[in-house]
A and B are shown apart, each in its own frame.
Chain A
Amino acid sequence: MEACVHLGILARIFAKSRKHSLTIGILGAPNAGKTTLANRISVECGNGKHLGIVSPIPHETRECFAMEHCMITDQHGSLDLTIVDTPGIATSVDYREFQHHGLSREESITRAKEATRGVVKAIQSLDRLDAAIVVVDAARAPFDQVNWTVMGNLEARNIPLIVAANKTDLPEADPKLVQETFQSEIIPISAKKGTGMNELYGCILAIANS
């Protein structure tokens, strides 16, 4: 919240020089809630349709999907946002995990092959982004090292990022732990319930102003 207050001040200072459009990637580990967030932004700011399918099975999203013309508006004007929902980034893809979700061995291996290609596409998408939202599952500590990998790569490319601590609707969620772990300002959200979205939009606008 504090981050947004600071960014909100910056937003007012730099409102005159705001970018009119921004491509923002939604990145993170599998099942962190990236597609739920993309759907939420699309429903609230885009054409009202869902961008992807949400599933408890990891690697449901295995391609990068973009939604253009999501409009975020404040008193200074509108920002035309392209959101890119990316496959979850992982260091391993174990087909046996899909079998635990009821898929046959053949289906699991097919899904695992698609998932490995999806991870590569997610990594390659970093070069095409103006900004990124790193979605961390606040209910699942210890947090995956790929989050540091993603953040480190964004910083190395000078791509501004927002850390969204998702799933705050779950009782076990601990956004403070996310903040302490990543030593970074975070935005607690529940993409599923829609809480924290105004703060998130405020941070996106602040990035457009910077």
Chain B
Amino acid sequence: MDLYIDFVTENTTKRMNSIEKCEFIISKLKNKRVVVFEGGLRPEEEAILIEEAMLQIDHSSFLGYKIITPSPVRTPGLFSRKDIRMTVIAPQNYESLSVALV
């Protein structure tokens, strides 16, 4: 299976509400995209994403997703240092999410 990864910046999602964000992610997953999401999701958004995914699982092409949030990465710099949080979300059909992280 070919692997496609979409990097989604916070700038892209900052005007989206939680539902829109989750629908955006699910549409990507349904198109067999792995989504690397800058800023991650809040726990409440993760719960909404689970609910939305469960409602949209069709038991053929979309079976849900795998999600991993690695520890935040700290950017270098004295005054501009900040923690960058990323969440990686992949369609369940990928046999191993670690493949997406390589």
Contacts and interface: CB of A to CB of B under 8 A. Distances in A.
Contacts, number: 69
Contact of B43 (A91, A92, A94, A156): A156
A57 to B, nearest CB: 17
Contacts of B49: 91
Contacts of B92: 91-92, 94
Contact of A91 (B42, B55, B66, B69): B66
A96 to B, nearest CB: 8
Given A116-B55, A120-B54, A93 B64 contact: yes
B67 interface: yes
A153 B43 contact: yes
B66 A113 contact: no
Interface string A70-97: 0000000000000000000111111100
Interface string A96-128: 000000000000010011001101100110100
Nearest to B92: A92
A117 B63 contact: no
Nearest to A155: B43
Nearest to A124: B51
Contact of B55 (A120, A124, A146, A152): A120
Interface in B33-81: 42-44, 46-47, 49-51, 53-55, 57, 59, 63-69
A182 interface: no
A123 B50 contact: yes
B59 A91 contact: no
A148 interface: yes
A146 B44 CA distance: 12
Nearest to A145: B67
B70 to A, nearest CB: 11
Contacts of A90: 50, 64
A119 B54 contact: yes
A93 B63 contact: yes
Nearest to A113: B59
Interface of A: 89-95, 109, 112-113, 116-117, 119-120, 123-124, 126, 145-146, 148-149, 151-153, 155-156
29 contacts: A91-B53, A91-B64, A91-B67, A91-B92, A92-B53, A92-B63, A92-B64, A92-B65, A93-B64, A94-B63, A94-B64, A95-B59, A95-B63, A112-B59, A119-B54, A120-B51, A123-B47, A123-B50, A123-B51, A145-B67, A146-B50, A152-B43, A152-B44, A153-B43, A153-B44, A153-B46, A155-B43, A156-B43, A156-B44
